[in-house]
Structure formats: C-alpha cells, structure tokens
C-alpha cells in the first residue's frame, strides 16, 4: 500500500466535547495539552491510507456473509511498518521529556484501530491514541501493557483521523519499541452508502444483523441478565471473528477463562474482546465499545468438538461487572430447551431460543448438539463460538456452524450445531481438554453454577466449600483437615451426615447438628489423620441433609490430593516485600535434581507475601527473578526478601540485584543443630484468624508465643495433665509466630501464621 503524507498540519479544536470512556484497560494520564483551553498547532506528520474499493468489498462480503464459519469483516486491513525511527515526529518538551506523534488518516472511515506488532515500553513511558477533534482517546498504555508475545492490539477510535502519541521521560530516552504493523480502516457503515442509507444508519460499529434477531435486553432476555454479562464479541483486525463466553472454574477464583470455537482460532494474541456491547433497551442500534481486553493465551483446543479455551491477558476489572458462567459436562440427553447469547454479524448482543430438546450428532467430523431450528431469534456469521445454555442456565456447548439465518422478520427454520462441552471435557492432554483448567481442584464435578452469581437454587441443599488448610505438600505425617460446610438451600440446614475418607478408606462417619440459614457456612475440623509417606487423598461426602435426600448432589463431595513427608522434615519460610512493580517479581525453589518444587509471583505493587515450604533432608536453590532486570530495591521502592529456618532464624536476605539472585542452602547445615532437644508441635488451624488449638506433649509445663523478632507476646502456665490448649491470637498483628512448649525434659516448637 502506498502511503501519502499530508502537507497540512493538524488543526486542533479549541474546545473539546465530552471524552468517551477508555476502550481498553488503561492507566492514569492524558495526552499532552489535552486540558488546555487554547492549543497551538502541533507539528504532527500525517500519513494517508489508500482509498477503498467499496464495490469490491461489497461483492466479497455478499459471499462471505452467508457462511457462519467465516468472520464478519467490518474493516480493511492495511499492512504497514511505521516505527519510531522511520515515521512520525519527535519533539523535546519543556521538562526534558520526549514526545513522538504520528497521524493516520483513513478517508471516510467509521473507525480506525491498530495492531502494534512491536510494543515494549520502559517504566514511566506512556502511549496514547486520540482522534482529530479531541473528543476521544485511548490510554495511557504503559509497560504493564507489554505482552509476552511482543505485540499489542488497540481498539476502535471513532474517527477517520487519529494521532498516535508516545511520551518518553528523559530517564528512559531511547528505550521504547513501538511499530504499527496493521491499520484497520473501518468501512462497513459507509459501504453501499447511496442504496442502503437506511440500513447503514442502523448499523453498529462492527456490523449489522438480520431483522429477526432479538436484543438481549428485550423482555425475552430478562431471565438471562446474569449470563449475558459473560458474553463478549471477538475482534481480530478488521473482522468481527466470533463470539465467546467467560466460564467459571471449580476454584471460583475469577481466572479469566474464555470459551469459544476451535475454528475461530488464529491471531488470538492480538484479539480484542468487547464486553457489554449491547443496546440499553429492546430497540436501538448503538452500544458501548468502552470495555475491552486486548490479547489472550490459548490453553486448550480440540477439533473433535470444535472447542477452544483461552485465558484473557487481563482479568476484567470490577466496573465491567462480568459473570463467569456455569457449565454441565455430563453430556446427558436430559436437556429440554436451549438458549444462545451472541453477537451475530458483529452486531450488538442478541439472544435466541429453542424450546425443543437438542440431540447428539456428528457434523464435519465433530461431536455436536444438533438444533433443528430456533423458535425465537437466530445465529449468523460472528455468532460462532457463542455458548449454548441448557434450561438450568449452564453451558453445554459452543457454536460450530449451521445454516440458520433470518428470512425477513423471521428465521428460516434451518438448523445449527454446537460442539459438545461434555466431549470437550476429556482429551489426551491438558492442551486438548477442558477439565485441567475448569476443574483445577480435581473435584470431578459434572455441573458448576456461575460466579460470582449463581442462578439455580434448591430448597434442601447442603454443600462443601473445599478444604481450607491442606496444602499441596504436607510437612509431616499428621494433619487436622478443616473444611467448610455451607447451606446453599432456601431451607435452614439443621443436620447432615459427614463421611470422611482417607486414601479410599472410610475413617469416620458422624452426624452434624446446627442451624445454618441460606448462604451461611461453618468451618469444621476433622479428626487427627495419620498419613502415608508420599501421595495421599482425603475426601468428604455429605448425605441426608435435614434427614432427607439432597436436592442438589453436585456439591456434596470434595476431595484433595497432596504429598506428605513422613520422615524428617523442616518448615522453612520466606517473607517478601515487593517494590512498586510487583508484577515483575517471581521466585522458585529447586531441589538437587533441578526440579522446581515451589514457585510464586507475579504480585501486586508494595505487597508483603509470606510463604512456607516443607523441605526434607537435602540441598536446595532459592532463586528470585525480576523480569525488568532491576531487582526489587531500591530504584522503585524498598523491596526485600528474607529466608528463615523452621525455628525462625534468618539465613538469607536481599533485594538489590538485576535479573535474578540465587541462594543455595542445605537443611542439615541450617536445621540439625537447631533440632537438639527440640520436637515439633501440632498447631491448628494454620493459618488462623485467631483461634487455634495446640496439641501438647506429655508433662507440658509452660508455653510461650514469640513474634518474628523474638519478642514474647504470650506466656501461659500449663497443667501436667493437659493434652491440648485453646489460644486466642486475634489481637496479634498478622504475621508468623513461634509457639514453644517446655516440659521437664524437652522443648517443643511449632510455627503459626495469623492472617
């Protein structure tokens, strides 16, 4: 494509209109001189893209728009290579900072967007994109927007002239890398302007769907206002590629897993995911484009069910108000009706309904749910990848293809087919199945409701919230497992039978009695459990809540697998204080075989982290990393780390390094001498909010609690016949404490963390 520089300078408006909300996750700051009432003319170099051949584009779109599997194109992509060296204008500002600007004009464009195929900013640098009439800008983007894959996609600016601006402080001059690789000239609403003026006036920024589609905020969509918040439009360059849905996982921790179709894949590192792109009411053709995420990582895909699971590069912030939708992986033919929420032809969010049961079939070599026809609404190109929900509002598949479409104001009565979620659940490896990602707790659940809001409620529903104090590695051969019993039902929970299994054998079965209202929970401690050396599994199964069968058995069991060391072990610990850029800090501990047994990070800024490690006899290497290469002290805060033995002795510390720093140590060097006449103490629950139980050795006489500085915070005399004692540590500041119990012959110690 030939580029033509404009001879005239950019004339800036003397006053600007209301600023639209930022279209992507961005950070503080505004473009230079944005708030000035009077602006001098800036020396912005403009380049102009070629004119579009609208007749050719129209002819191509008329063909591809008929196929659901083909992305819905709304813009022409121009491949370029504009960077900080060969394009734009550099200006030195009054404070010594440097400013780079480059203007882009796409004649008659409805929008302009970009893929920066090279993007790496140093700390304190800022990048903006703003429009000619200074009513809209995106940014600032900074070094936290740097992606591992080195590129960065930027969403729509609604104008035909925009300016790219980089502010580079003097201290990091010359360190920025920015190159524009693709310019997307949005055209769809200007194509066929003369003969389709009415249709174009009702077209959204990414496209327009048929008249039989139903806006998600029409009355028909009222029961689906929770699930709709998980649905997003996927844009890749100049095409509305597909639709997809945020999906919940059994940890219910808000990991941004995103379900779409395998055939949609290609360039997902630079996809932009637009959330809440919908009209406010039942009618209308405009919706916001101000809530989006740039970039994703492929976690799993499989053509056998046309499934793809992505992890978004950023977690949608709170103001997006997203929902992580629930699922059913049973693949049972018990579905009575289905619903799909999607973005047909890149349009605003729509909804469609089939009131008949779908059935299993094979289509194009993939295992699918077959929809004979929709009763209300329809799908179109751009709907691919959108979730199919069952009558319980759980995902059972994602759109693979079909020939359903509008025929005037009604649909054409033709079928669609969806890859089956239950088939996608299992596969040969984590990269070809869903269960590793969506069931990280290995609960073997077949159904899971949404997060943070669930839809289905039951009258009689006792559930388990998982174990709260069982780590992946247990230091020693005994634990006191703690789990959460929760009443999810509408009726009060007054009794339930708890069955406790250890390594497949029933250890105990007992009846719990109490009174929990809906949503209330109670932490329960299971009996002392002796573990085998190596791999272990504990499981709890609930039965007979309130003396009757549970209405919802899906949450009646929980299990956890872990490794226990029955031989000599030592609980080492680390405290870490991050600097202002905690997202650059990671660490690991490797054993003598160079196998990583513990790791952590990245973290939030200026955050204190406490970690414990169970180490058997041997030698280890602790390594702390900084991805930016400037350590954690002292240019951007006073970050530091400290390593402690099981008795609280500090044997290594630091913070000033570049890319990484290593500490090598052996447990026999640091711990054996400390073990003289010292035995380990059982303290639980650990960590604690304050109330703990200390299991005492025989003939215990005195107990003390000391903080990390060795200061005594509690002293208590003990009766010789006492086997345990209850402590209330809730008044103590959060942190690590050592509990020491003395008898007439020995000293016994344990460590506990107060949260």
> Pick from 139, 166, 150, 73: which is nearest to 115 by CA?
150
pLDDT for position 709: 62
Task: Tell which phi-psi region holds residue 74, choosing left (phi > 0), alpha (psi between -120 and 50) or beta.
Answer: alpha
Query: DSSP secondary structure string, 163-221?
Result: EEEEEE-GGGTT--EEEEEEEEEE-TTTTTTTTTHHHHHT--SS----TT-EETTSGGG
Helix (H) or strand (E) run with residue 54 in it: helix 54-64
Burial (CB count within 10 angstroms: exposed 0-12, middle 13-18, buried 19+), residue 193: exposed
CA distance 531 to 24: 50
User: CA dihedral in degrees (444, 449, 452, 454; nearest 10)?
Assistant: -150
pLDDT recorded at residue 7: 29
Selection from 338, 334, 372, 378 nearest residue 354 by Cα:
338
Which entry of 306, 331, 390, 630 is annotated as an active-site residue? 306
What order do you get walking across the sheet with 177-186 strand by strand?
75-83, 177-186, 111-120, 152-157
- How many Å apart are CA 622 and CA 599, to the nearest integer? 9
Q: Is the peptide bond before 602 cis (omega within 30 degrees of 0)?
A: yes
Catalogue all structural domains in the chain, each as residue range(s) with its CATH number. Answer: 4-199 (no CATH), 208-437 (2.40.10.10), 457-559 (2.60.40.10), 569-673 (2.60.40), 677-754 (2.60.40.10)
Tens of pLDDT, residues 676-732: 444 556 777 766 777 888 878 777 888 888 876 667 888 888 876 677 888 888 888
Q: What is the pLDDT of residues 319-350, one digit of tens each?
A: 899 999 999 999 999 999 999 999 998 899 99
Q: What is the 3-state secondary structure (H, E, C) of 238-264?
A: CEEEEEEEEECCCCCCCCCEEEECHHH
In this predicted structure, what is the pLDDT of residue 23?
55
Among the listed residues 450, 461, 462, 371, the one whose alpha carbon sits nearest the alpha carbon of residue 414: 371
Query: What sign does the dihedral 72-76-77-82 (CA atoms) show?
Result: negative
> Nearest CA to 207 among 346, 341, 54, 30?
346
Longest C-alpha distance within the chain, in Å?
Answer: 99
Q: Please tell me the predicted confidence (pLDDT) of residue 429.
A: 87
Do 239 and 71 form a contact (C-beta atoms < 8 A)? yes
Give the residue among 511, 500, 233 at the shortest CA–CA distance from 381: 233
Catalytic residue among 384, 386, 640, 671: 384
Parallel, antiparallel, or unpaired for β 557-565 and 473-475?
parallel
Nearest to 115 by CA among 191, 185, 53: 185
pLDDT value, residue 557: 85
- What's the CA gap between 45 and 5, in Å, rounded? 7
Let me know if 429 is a catalytic residue.
no
Report CA 194 to chain centroid distance, whole Å: 45
DSSP assignment of 409-446 equals TEE----EEEEEHHHHH--SSGGG-SHHHH-TT----S
- Please choose, from the candidates 246, 348, 225, the residue with its C-alpha nearest in 3D space to the C-alpha of residue 293: 246
- Rounded Cα distance between 131 and 403, Å, is 40
The number of helix segments (H) and strand segments (E) in the chain equals: 5, 59
Cα of 552 vs its chain's centroid, Å? 28
Angle value at C-alpha 668, between 666 and 670, nearest 5 degrees = 70
Burial of 317 (0-12, 13-18, 19+ CB in 10 A): exposed
- Catalytic residue (choose from 185, 263, 343, 646): 263
pTM over 0.85: no
Collapsing DSSP states into helix, strand and coil, what is residue 283? Answer: coil
- For residue 681, the model assigns a pLDDT of 66
Q: What pLDDT sits at residue 583? A: 84
Residue ranges, the chain, pLDDT below 50 = 1-22, 37-40, 190-202, 671-678
**Distances from the Cα of 44 to the Cαs of 14, 17, 40, 488, in angstroms?**
17, 21, 12, 61
Is 263 annotated as catalytic? yes
d(CA 733, CA 741): 22
| Dihedral of alpha carbons 366, 368, 373, 374, sign | negative
Alpha carbon distance 186, 206 (integer Å): 8
Residue-wise burial string across 353-379, b where 16 or more C-beta atoms lie within 10 A, e elsewhere = bbeebbeeeebeebbbbebeebebbbb
pLDDT at res. 11? 28
384 part of the active site: yes
Question: What local confidence, expressed as pLDDT, does residue 669 receive?
Answer: 60
């Amino acid at each position: 494509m030939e580029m033509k520089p404009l001879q005239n300078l950019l004339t800036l408006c003397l006053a600007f209109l209301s600023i639209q909300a930022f279209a992507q996750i961005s950070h503080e700051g505004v473009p230079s001189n944005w708030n000035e009432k009077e602006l001098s003319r800036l020396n912005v170099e403009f380049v102009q893209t070629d004119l579009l051949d609208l007749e050719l584009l129209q002819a191509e779109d008329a063909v591809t728009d008929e196929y659901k599997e083909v992305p819905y194109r709304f813009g022409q992509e121009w491949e370029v290579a504009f960077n900080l060296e060969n394009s734009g204008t550099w200006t030195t500002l009054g404070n010594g900072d440097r400013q780079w600007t480059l203007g882009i004009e796409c004649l008659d464009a409805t929008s302009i967007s970009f893929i920066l195929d090279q993007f790496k900013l140093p700390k304190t640098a800022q990048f903006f994109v703003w429009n000619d009439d200074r009513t809209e800008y995106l940014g600032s983007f900074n070094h936290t927007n740097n992606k591992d894959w080195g590129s960065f996609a930027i969403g729509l600016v609604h104008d035909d002239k925009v300016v790219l601006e980089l502010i580079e402080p003097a201290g990091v001059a010359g360190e920025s890398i920015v190159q524009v690789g693709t310019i997307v000239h949005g055209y769809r609403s200007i194509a066929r302007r003369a003969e389709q003026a009415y249709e174009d006036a009702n077209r959204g920024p990414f496209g327009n769907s048929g008249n039989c589609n139903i806006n998600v905020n029409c009355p028909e969509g009222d029961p689906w206002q929770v699930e709709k918040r998980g649905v997003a439009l996927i844009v890749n360059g100049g095409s509305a590629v597909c639709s997809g849905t945020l999906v919940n996982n059994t940890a219910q921790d808000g990991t941004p897993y995103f379900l779409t179709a395998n055939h949609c894949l290609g360039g997902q590192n630079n996809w932009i995911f637009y959330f809440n792109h919908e009209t406010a009411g039942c009618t209308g053709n405009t919706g916001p484009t101000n809530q989006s995420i740039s970039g994703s990582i492929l976690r799993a895909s499989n053509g056998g069910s046309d499934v793809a699971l992505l992890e978004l590069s950023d977690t949608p912030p709170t103001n997006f108000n997203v929902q992580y939708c629930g699922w059913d992986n049973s693949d049972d033919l018990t579905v009575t009706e289905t619903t799909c929420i999607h973005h047909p032809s890149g349009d605003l969010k729509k909804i469609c309904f089939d009131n008949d049961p779908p059935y299993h079939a094979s289509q194009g070599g993939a295992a699918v749910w077959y929809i004979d026809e929709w009763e209300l609404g329809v799908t179109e190109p751009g709907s691919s990848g959108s979730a199919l929900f069952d009558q319980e509002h759980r995902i059972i598949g994602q759109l693979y293809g079909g020939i359903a479409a509008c025929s005037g104001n009604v649909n054409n009565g033709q079928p669609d087919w969806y890859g089956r979620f239950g088939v996608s659940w299992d596969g040969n490896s984590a990269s070809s199945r869903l269960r590793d990602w969506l069931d990280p707790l290995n609960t073997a659940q077949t159904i899971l409701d949404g997060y943070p809001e669930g839809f289905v409620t039951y009258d009689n529903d006792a559930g388990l919230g998982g174990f709260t104090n069982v780590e992946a590695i247990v230091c020693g051969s005994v634990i006191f497992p703690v789990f959460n019993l929760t009443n999810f039902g509408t009726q009060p929970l007054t009794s339930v039978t708890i069955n406790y299994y250890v390594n497949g054998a029933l250890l105990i079965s007992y009846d719990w009695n109490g009174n929990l209202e809906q949503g209330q929970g109670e932490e329960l401690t299971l009996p002392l459990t002796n573990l085998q050396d190596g791999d272990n599994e504990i499981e709890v199964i609930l039965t007979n809540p309130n003396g009757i069968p549970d209405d919802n058995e899906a949450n009646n069991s929980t299990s956890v697998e872990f490794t226990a060391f029955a031989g000599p072990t030592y609980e080492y610990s680390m405290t870490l204080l991050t600097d202002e850029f905690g997202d650059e800090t990671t660490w690991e501990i490797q054993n003598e075989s160079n196998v990583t047994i513990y790791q952590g990070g990245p973290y939030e800024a200026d955050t204190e982290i406490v970690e414990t490690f169970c180490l058997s006899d041997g030698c280890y290497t602790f390594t702390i990393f900084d991805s930016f290469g400037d350590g954690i002290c002292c240019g951007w805060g006073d970050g530091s780390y400290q390593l402690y033995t099981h008795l609280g002795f500090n044997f290594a510390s630091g913070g000033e390094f570049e890319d990484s720093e290593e500490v090598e140590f052996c447990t026999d060097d640091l711990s054996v001498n400390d073990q003289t006449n010292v035995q380990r103490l059982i303290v639980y629950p650990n960590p604690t909010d304050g109330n703990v139980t200390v299991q005492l050795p025989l003939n215990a006489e005195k107990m003390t609690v000391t903080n990390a500085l060795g200061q005594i915070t509690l002293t208590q005399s003990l009766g010789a016949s006492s086997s345990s004692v209850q402590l209330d540590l809730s008044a103590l500041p959060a942190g690590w404490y050592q509990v020491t119990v003395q008898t007439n012959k020995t000293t016994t110690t344990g460590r506990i963390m107060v949260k």
